[in-house]
Structure 1
Amino acid sequence: MVRYLFSFALFGLVAAENGLNAWLRYAPIPNAQNYSASLPSSIVSLNSTETSPVYTAGTELQNGIQGIFGKRLSISHANGTTSSSIVVGTVDEYAKTGGSVQGIPELDEDGFWLSSKGGNVQILGENERGALYGAFEYLSMLAQGNLSSVAYATNPNAPVRWVNQWDNLDGSIERGYGGPSIFFENGTIVNDLTRAGDYARLLASVRVNAVVVNNVNANSTLLSTRNIQGLGRIADAFRPYGVRLGISLDFASPMDFGGLPTYDPLDPSVIAFWTNVTNQIYETVPDMAGYLVKANSEGQAGPLTYNRTLSQGGNLFAKALQPHGGIVMFRAFVYNMLNESDWKADRANAAVQFFKDLDGQFDDNVVVQIKYGPIDFQVREPTSPLFANLLNTSTAIELEVAQEYLGQQCHLVYLPPLWKTVLDFDLRVNNQSSLVRNIISGKRFNRPLGGSAAVVNVGTNTTWLGSHLAMSNLYAYGRLAWDPAQDPQSILQDWIRLTFSLDNEVIDTITQMSMESWPAYESYSGNLGIQTLTDILYTHFGPNPASQDNNGYGQWTRADHLTIGMDRTVSNGTGFSGQYPPEIYEMYENIETTPDNLLLWFHHVNYTQRLQSGQTVIQHFYDAHYSGADTAQTFVPLWESLEGKVDTERYNDVLFRQTYQAGHSIVWRDAINNYYYNLSGIPDEANRVGNHPYRVEAESMTLSGYEPYPVNPFEMASNFTAIITTSNNTAGTAMTTLQYPSGTYDLGVNYYDLIGGKSNWEIYLNNRTLGRWYGNNEDTLGHAPSTYLDGHSATRITFRDVQIQKGDMLKIVGMPNGIEPAPLDYVVVLPKGIVD
């Protein structure tokens, strides 16, 4: 039974924090001094080498216990233990000191034994990395106020628990929303790798064991002598935490970097090139984890250029790595551009089409890295059928902590419930239980390797990902990679206690916000399996449903004025459903047994098609987008209820983002609903879509120095029109007389914040200044910016509790800057409790 130390009523003032320590704050717990006497009095670390994870474990235990309890324990490295000590090391080293290992079960690689029974605490790993994991586990218990007596062993679900960074050598990060790279700048490795070490510490605490530090769209100059030496310095920063270095490779490097006339994987000169390069790297980084390879996808070079197979390409690197014990993570993200006029064309088919016939042809140290769904990190996808088609090949699931299609850390979206829909999915291979989590572990098909990889993309921002709340996804990724059977809400609450507070109100509030966040985002961004209706041709951030179709990328909705959805049936469509084992195929092939939340993924239907819920498809769209946006509004008051319970810096940062999400969710709601209302011509039964009685359109105001601007796509502006200044260096004024009953209102202004300028606006009521704001989201939000008036740049500012008398004069003065012409969309005057 868990024994907690305190009453939750006993909390004092909270100190300011910037997020750098994330969940490793080791914050003092209430009444800690009353319990420090029951702690062991010393630490015995069974390795005195400073680069050893066991040495690190001793230091971490010392610092953690001092932070939590205010008690500094001495550390010794002598053989043997003393009474009332914490001993940390490997099982073998402990046995050599005369310690009893009786009762400790056999451990897998990286596994550990933790016992706090009796006077001593034993933290013993199968290897040194496992011992460090055990130390972090013990500290996590203490930091949550848990001094229970425990004795248990834990082993990883799978050996591969990697993260991928999409960092470029110039310091930029593809799909990165937390600042520039902590590894690279100006074409080489940064001089100060302090943050790299800090990152390794965070990852080790959740048992991640390798980092691929550069973009899958790799730059071959990473292989220069100078950069290989720099990689050695990164590996040195990682090593004390048991985190190994991995790198991405450009398949064409033999030609682009090595000066060869070919990169054919069967050419002897190419084989020699990669053998030599690999040997050079291992001379500098003898414990390198291996390579990540993206080949023949999205214009990348690969073996198909020479009519070689993808397995021949993967095995090229596998053979170079085999003498060193390294592995190849070979991405299954391979697809060609398609013609939408071909009813049978389907990007979702690509992974199985490219890889199924190669099953068993990859060397044993190759792991095929498969995105969780068949397309590309969408808000909901069916489980990739490739997991059920590689019975003789090691596989890993690829997840994305970086919210590329899911709000880019500007929207709260707690992702583990999404991931669990795939990890827990039973593919029923050969009519037997075939959970994805058991396939990637290697257990289901008796494979030697397997596991998880997550695209993370931390940056130099002190919050790491650009958002404090987004860090729950990184924490939970590590926890699920170790044990994918865990409950996402339980993981989340551990993270809240470690990151924010042990206060029950804080835990309950952030739990509610987080657990409601993915369903809300799915509701207002794209539901019924239609995918995330974002702009796939531009920034992947804001809404643009039209961009999904009429292109070669294959993320199609096939929407017209009567119908919507991809027909992926065998009987009449692309045949995708037939890539699953029979039991799953039969479920998805039949519209009656296809779950509503994937209906439009598998079936092309009329807008009036009835769902299992009884609603029509189009009415569900309208209702879901309204309900999702309504939920996003509640996150603001929920977070505000924690004022004084969270330090001011983090409180204000999260409040800013939740306020932004509340406004942007309405942008999403209106854009999607207006688009499909215009396309289908079917009205909303509740008469909400296109009906906004509390809005004053900017173009209907009295304008001076402003002019109407037709926004394209049309649905990205209320009433299809915004206003912009007539000049790039002269202010514009928009005025209107408010005809609402006298009372207290929230007054919102929807405007556009473009990159390339920082306009400022000032709003007046009867010539009294209500407020002023700047178009500086590029400085305060990390999402991919836009140079257009669109769903990415659209945003809202709200002035709350404004006293308005009928007949008051409202005036907005906008001063353009750079290419940003102080754009305005509308003003909304909201009575309390109204969302519009």
Structure 2
Amino acid sequence: MTPHPLWLPAAATAHLRGRSIRVEGEHPLLQTVRAEATAAGMHPAEDGDVVIRPGAASTPDSFVLAVGDGNVTAEYADAAGALYAWFEIVRQGAAVFAGAGRRTCAPAHALRMIDHWDNVAVHPVMGQVERGYAGVSLFFDDGLLREDLSRVDRYARALASIGINRIAVNNVNVHEREVHLLTDDLPGIARIAAVFRRWGIRLHLSVSFATPLMLGDLDTADPLDDRVQEWWRATTTRVYEQIPDFGGYLVKADSEGQPGPFAYGRDHADGANMLARALASHDGLVHWRAFVYNHRQDWRDRTTDRARAAFDHFTPLDGRFDDNVIVQIKYGPMDFQAREPVSPVLFGMPHTRLGLELQITQEYTGQQRHAVYLGPQWAEILSFRPHGQTGSALAEGLGGGMAAVANVGDDPFWTGHPLAQANLYAYGRLAWNPRLDPAAILDEWVPLTFGDDPIVRSGIHAILDGSWAAYEAYTAPLGVGFMVTPGTHDGPSVDGYEYSPWGTYHFADRDGVGVDRTAATGTGFAAQYPEPWRSTYETLETVPDELLLFFHHVPYTHRLHSGKTVIQHIYDSHFDGVERVRQAMQTWEGLAGRIDPAVFERGRERFAAQLQSAIEWRDQITTYFARMSGVPDDQGRTYR
């Protein structure tokens, strides 16, 4: 089966067919633009309907778009800006030629990155793509690098069209096979980098901190050892000899069993800076992940708190990281849950370059069998104001830009569920402009992907607009998180992680539920926030309902700001969530005959799976809490 064209089918450029274009300048990316225009059915002309030329824009990747008299002129700051201008002309459709005006388009973040968790060899537990739900890797095939990279080229084109300019192609959990990407496999990686280069995307690699040990070259990985420093300098130089625009290293260290500087009595700054200095002369970056916590916790210990860990580890190091180190921080303090507070580390290190990490792959949000549009969640995170309403939004302080874990594989529809493509599209658009309305992003994506049928547009809006809230409604309640099957994280298991060492607890007992993270009586996590959030999260009177159980252990009869008790909210939300899935399923059925039959059938299959899973979530959660609390459902819908 020919891969689905994502949001770039031939129809997306129909408004350009037969028109003329002039592209000024010489650069490989300008050749890409010319090739795109030719493929769209345009012809070159001195006095083109579309002119793309160097001019008024000044910041990297930016362009100025001017419209008048039915013509469009894009003036670019650099060749990447010309490429992004082209895709803006495609995105706007026929409307791009209407009206008159002039506007500057510049990305909010210089770094807009996609992280792949792809393994070269199939891992016995995690498979080819860790937390992947869309087939196997685009880059690797059971121990080998792929020879045919034509699909990678299609993928790179789609990423460029939404403004992505960096990509890490392998898993942050680096295993024995993957350490050879820096050595024996480097020529193959250079081939992959060349594909992405044509679309203005720089390639990065995830590396193990212990690579010189794992390869048998040294007997230590101590970052302060001269031999280790020289090994990384020499290795990095060899990488740049084959990949001149190599982006740098992505590192998961001293996290969930991955090796790191702690083994040598060193800290994260020591480790990150050692790698940064090997990269500095090549304009390379280190993305050092802040996902560090005790994964050998005793569940009886109520003082140790996984939510605190990243802040406690990293904020004392503020100001010690080199300028080409980006500390990459998951959006919440736990692990990509459907609902968490924004991590205080993201605004707790003012003298360090910080990058936001999101997860497009739906590890905890339905694994791409559930239709869950994450644009609203990400927009809420990006617009969060750490210092209150008079302060700046989180997005304005991300000197290290944004990264997100990819959701694609060799699946014919790229993302498993066809509607999961919307999340990849939305991530790119929000990384470019975090102020975009997620509903407006759907207004772009739907007609590009499905055409202009207003019934299709309204139907997919009806399915996706409230899908994140629906998923939250029928899964773990009020911010408590997890309650998933251990290992796979697929489907409900209320106590699955409750007595495990992973620090992911809900502490439900006969009297109440939730984790006390207050400064007064709990773990003190709430005190890691600046005001006004410290006080907001500390007290029951002000904590938002959706985060109640993240910050407080409360009786089942505690009343929410909504007026409902906690236990009745659990019952009502779970039954309501299932009904919302039924409605989405019916809406999809109403699109039969209006969208591609293969897309429709895949969607039908996924909606059936989503409904079955939502019912399972509802029944397990409501039965568990009915039995645990002894408080019946007002509507008589549960059994004990």
> Where on the TM-score scale, by shorter chain, does this alignment land: which range?
over 0.9
Closer, same or farther: CA 41–423 of 1 in aligned 2, 3 Å? closer
The amino acid across from 1:82 in the alignment is E
**Aligned: 1:174 with 2:130:** yes
- Unaligned residue ranges in structure 2 (runs of 5+): 123-127
Cα deviation, residue 527, structure 1: 2.1
Contact 1:25–1:498 (CA<8 Å) still a contact in 2? yes
| Cα distance in 1 between the residues matched to 2:12 and 2:307 | 50
Picking from 159, 164, 169, the partner of 2:115 is 164
Q: Which residue of structure 2 aligns with residue 214 of structure 1? A: 170
Q: Does structure 1 conserve the Cα–Cα contact (< 8 Å) formed by 2:516 and 2:523?
A: yes
| One of 479, 484, 488 as aligned partner of 2:429 | 479
Aligned pairs for 1:259-658 within 5 A: 259-337=217-295, 338-428=297-387, 433-440=391-398, 442=399, 450-535=400-485, 537-658=486-607
The reply on whether 1:154 has 2:105 as its aligned counterpart is yes
Distance 2:102 2:6 in 1: 27
| Match status 1:88 vs 2:52 | yes
Q: How many angstroms does 1:185 deviate by?
A: 2.0
**Which one is further off, 295-304 or 415-424?**
415-424
The answer to whether the Cα contact below 8 Å between 2:63 and 2:74 also exists between their aligned partners in 1 is yes
- CA gap of 1:196–1:28, structure 2 versus 1, over 3 A, is closer
1:260 and 1:618 map into 2 onto residues whose CA distance is 58
Contact 2:518–2:551 (CA<8 Å) still a contact in 1? yes
1:32-71 matches, cutoff 5 A? 41-47=19-25, 52-64=28-40
Whole-angstrom distance in 2 between the partners of 1:129 and 1:218: 31
Counterpart in 1 of 2:7? 23
3-state SS, counterpart of residue 167 of structure 2? strand
For residue 244 of structure 1, report the CA deviation from its aligned partner.
0.9
In structure 2, C-alpha distance between the alignment counterparts of 1:678 and 1:624, rounded to whole Å: 18
Rounded to whole Å, the distance in 2 between the matches of 1:678 and 1:42 is 70
Conserved in 2, the CA contact under 8 Å of 1:107 and 1:153?
Answer: no
Distance in 2 (CA, whole Å) between partners of 1:222 and 1:183 is 15
In the alignment, the residues of structure 1 paired with residue 366 and residue 408 of structure 2 have an alpha-carbon distance, to the nearest angstrom, of: 16
CA distance in 2, matches of 1:111, 1:193: 29
Q: Is the 8 A contact 1:258 1:273 kept in 2?
A: no
Taking the aligned partners of 1:501 and 1:668, their CA distance within structure 2 comes to 35
Residue of structure 2 in register with 1:247 after alignment: 205
User: C-alpha separation between the residues in 2 aligned to 1:60 and 1:111?
Assistant: 19
* Equivalent residue runs for 1:675-754 within 5 Å: 675-690=624-639
Residue 147 of structure 1 and its aligned partner are, at CA, apart by 4.0
Give the Cα–Cα distance (whole angstroms) in 2 for the partners of residues 293 and 149 of structure 1: 48
**1: distance between equivalents of 2:382 and 2:229?**
37
Deviation at residue 531 of structure 1 after TM alignment: 1.1
Give the equivalent residue in structure 2 for 1:193: 149
In structure 2, what residue type is equivalent to 1:332?
A: A
Out of 213, 222, 225, the position equivalent to 2:183 is: 225
Residue identity over aligned pairs, in percent, reads: 42
Q: Are the counterparts in 1 of residues 329 and 354 from structure 2 also a CA contact under 8 Å?
A: yes
Q: Does the CA contact (< 8 Å) of 1:169 and 1:184 recur in 2?
A: yes
Structure 1: which amino acid aligns with 2:160? A
- The CA distance in 2 between the partners of 1:590 and 1:286, in whole Å, is 54
CA RMSD after TM alignment: 1.9
Q: Report Cα offsets for 1:415-445 as digits up to 9, x if no partner.
A: 011112211111108x9613211111x3xxx
C-alpha distance in 2 between matches for 1:160 and 1:343 = 39
Secondary structure at the residue paired with 1:328? strand
Q: Distance in 2 between matches of 1:228 and 1:599?
A: 49
Shift of 1:143: 6.3
Q: Give the Å deviation of 1:681.
A: 1.9
Q: Distance in 1 between matches of 2:281 and 2:91?
A: 38
8 Å CA contact 1:84–1:119 kept in 2: the answer is no
CA distance in 1 between partners of 2:526 and 2:19 (Å): 61
| Offset at residue 345 of structure 1 (A) | 1.3
Q: Distance in 2 between matches of 1:197 and 1:222?
A: 24
SS in 1 for 2:130: coil
Give, in angstroms, the shift of residue 680 of structure 1. 1.7
Partners of 1:56 and 1:590 lie apart in 2 by 56
Instruction: State the AA in 1 paired with 2:197.
Output: R
Structure number with higher helix proportion: 2
Deviations along 1:185-209, one digit per CA (max 9) or x if unpaired, are 2333211111111111010000000
Deviation at 1:512, TM superposition (A): 1.1
1:74 aligned partner, one-letter code? H
Distance in 1 of aligned mates of 2:36 and 2:483: 45
What is the letter of the counterpart of residue 6 of structure 2? A
C-alpha distance in 1 between matches for 2:440 and 2:351: 34
- Change in Cα spacing, 1:146 to 1:218, as seen in structure 2 (3 Å) is farther
Give the Cα–Cα distance (whole angstroms) in 1 for the partners of residues 8 and 547 of structure 2.
39
Tell me by how many angstroms 1:402 deviates: 0.2
Q: Which has the larger radius of gyration?
A: 1
Gaps of 5+ in 1: 1-16, 65-71, 76-80, 92-100, 443-449, 692-836
**Equivalent position of 2:125 in the other structure:** none
Deviations 1:516-567 (A, max 9, x none): 21111000011211114212x2211100010131111111101112111000
Whole-angstrom CA distance in 2 between matches of 1:284 and 1:659: 48
Counterpart secondary structure, 1:245: strand
Query: What is the letter of the counterpart of residue 149 of structure 2?
Result: L
Question: Which has the higher mean CA deviation after the structures are superposed, 135-144 or 615-624?
Answer: 135-144
Compared CA separation, residues 564 and 232, structure 1 to 2 (3 A): same
Specify the SS of the correspondent of 2:187.
Answer: helix
SS at match of 2:441: helix
Deviates more, 1:325-334 or 1:337-346: 337-346
Q: In structure 1, the residue corresponding to 2:203 is in which secondary structure?
A: strand
1 CA distance for matches of 2:98 and 2:488? 48
Task: Tell me, yes or no, if the aligned pair for 2:70 and 2:99 is still in contact at 8 Å.
Answer: no
The letter of the residue matching 2:8 is L
| Distance (Å, rounded) in 1 between the aligned partners of 2:502 and 2:601 | 40
TM-score by length of 1: 0.73
Aligned residues: 632
Question: What amino acid is the match of 1:605?
Answer: V
Give the C-alpha shift of residue 19 in structure 1.
5.6
Whether the 8 Å contact between 2:29 and 2:200 is mirrored in structure 1 is: yes
SS in 1 for 2:465: helix
More strand by share: 1
Q: Are the counterparts in 2 of residues 622 and 684 from structure 1 also a CA contact under 8 Å?
A: yes
Query: Deviations for 1:735-784, whole angstroms, at most 9, x for unmatched residues?
Result: xxxxxxxxxxxxxxxxxxxxxxxxxxxxxxxxxxxxxxxxxxxxxxxxxx
- What is the CA deviation profile of residues 244-286 of structure 1, one whole-angstrom value per residue up to 9, with x for unaligned ones? 1011001110111142110011111110111111101100100
Secondary structure in 1 aligned to 2:232?
Answer: helix
Match status 1:129 vs 2:80: yes
Mapped partners of 1:548, 1:146: distance in 2:
56
Question: In structure 2, what is the Cα distance between the partners aligned to 1:674 and 1:475?
Answer: 38
Distance 2:221 2:586 in 1: 58
What SS class does the counterpart of residue 198 from structure 2 fall into? Answer: helix
Counterpart contact for 2:407–2:424, Cα < 8 Å? no
Residue 27 (structure 1) shift? 1.3
Contact 1:388 1:581 in 2 (8 A): no
Structure 2 vs 1, CA of residues 639 and 144 (structure 1 numbering), >3 Å: closer, same or farther? farther
Q: Deviation string for 1:286-309 (max 9, x for gaps)?
A: 001111111000000001111101
Distance of aligned partners of 1:316 and 1:28 in 2 relative to their CA distance in 1, 3 Å threshold:
closer
